[in-house]
Amino acid sequence: MTFAELVGSNKPVLIDFYADWCAPCRMMAPILEDVKKHFGEEATIYKLDVDRNPQVAAAYQVQSIPTMILFHNGEPVWRQSGVVPAAEIKRIIGTYTAQTAK
């Protein structure tokens, strides 16, 4: 599957640009697990290792990690770098799904 196919879904797709050596990236892991449980099949969350995929990170001008980019219908609709609270991520994704943040 190509990156374009991955983010081209009509449901929201959150890409977490991260690296294994990044401490704030590790802090995001349980937050993203919470978000994933909240939305289930209504949204996709995918972790993309910038060390293994430098061309994709460069294409989206990811200069700091973690960086989350939310795609909807293949288009980036939201972007945030740093540790982001679960409630904020749920609120943003919720605007593109039938679910709302709880």
- Active site members: 22, 25
Residue whose pair of structure tokens reads 């449901």 in the numeric block: 11
Measured CA to CA in angstroms, residue 19 lies from 1, 9, 90 at distances of: 21, 25, 23
Strands in the chain per DSSP E: 13-18, 44-49, 67-72, 75-81
Phi-psi region of 22 (alpha: psi -120 to 50; beta: other; left: phi over 0): beta
Q: Peptide bond before 66: cis, by omega within 30 degrees of 0?
A: yes
